[in-house]
Structure 1
Amino acid sequence: MEVSARNTLKGSVKALVMGAVNAEVTVEVAPGIEVVAVITKSSAEKLGLAEGKAVYAVVKASDVMIAVD
């Protein structure tokens, strides 16, 4: 797999919540570090997503904000 996005995080599906239209996918990229994505239910099914499956979280954004206290 090759993608143009520079922010690709390898991990595994920690939780998968299937709804009527969308699926919420929680990906553990390191112990205690999670990324959550909402994708279409049909995409989740096409990818064969299930808890424990190895996946990549691909972040493609034109803006990334930084904040401090």
Structure 2
Amino acid sequence: MKLSARNQLKGTVISVDKGPISAKVKIDVGGGNTITSTVTAETIDDLGLKDGDAVVAIIKSSEVIIGK
């Protein structure tokens, strides 16, 4: 599958915190960096996501907000 998103980071799921509607998935992308994604609980079930899974974090955004 080809995607228009160019920011693709391979990683490993380190935790899945699933609630009744949404879930937080933490992904270790290496170098001491972790990405957290909020997805639907249905997505967790559809993908069968669990700790230790190899995944790709695909990031597509029209803006990046930085605060200090």
TM-score (norm 2): 0.90
Aligned partner of 1:53 in structure 2 is 53
Number of aligned positions between the proteins: 68
Task: Structure 1 unaligned segments of length 5 or more: list them.
Answer: none
CA RMSD of aligned residues (A): 1.5
Structure 2 unaligned regions, length at least 5: none
Residue 14 of structure 1 is matched in structure 2 by: 14
Query: Once the two structures are superposed, what CA deviation does each residue of 1:5-34 show, in whole Å capped at 9, x if it has no partner?
Result: 010000010010010100100000004210
Indicate the residue corresponding to 2:3 in structure 1. Answer: 3
Identity %: 38
Q: CA deviation at 1:66?
A: 5.1
Name the residue aligned to 2:27: 27
Q: State the 1:4 CA deviation.
A: 1.1
Cα distance in 2, alignment partners of residues 66 and 26 from structure 1: 21
Normalized against structure 1, the TM-score is what? 0.88
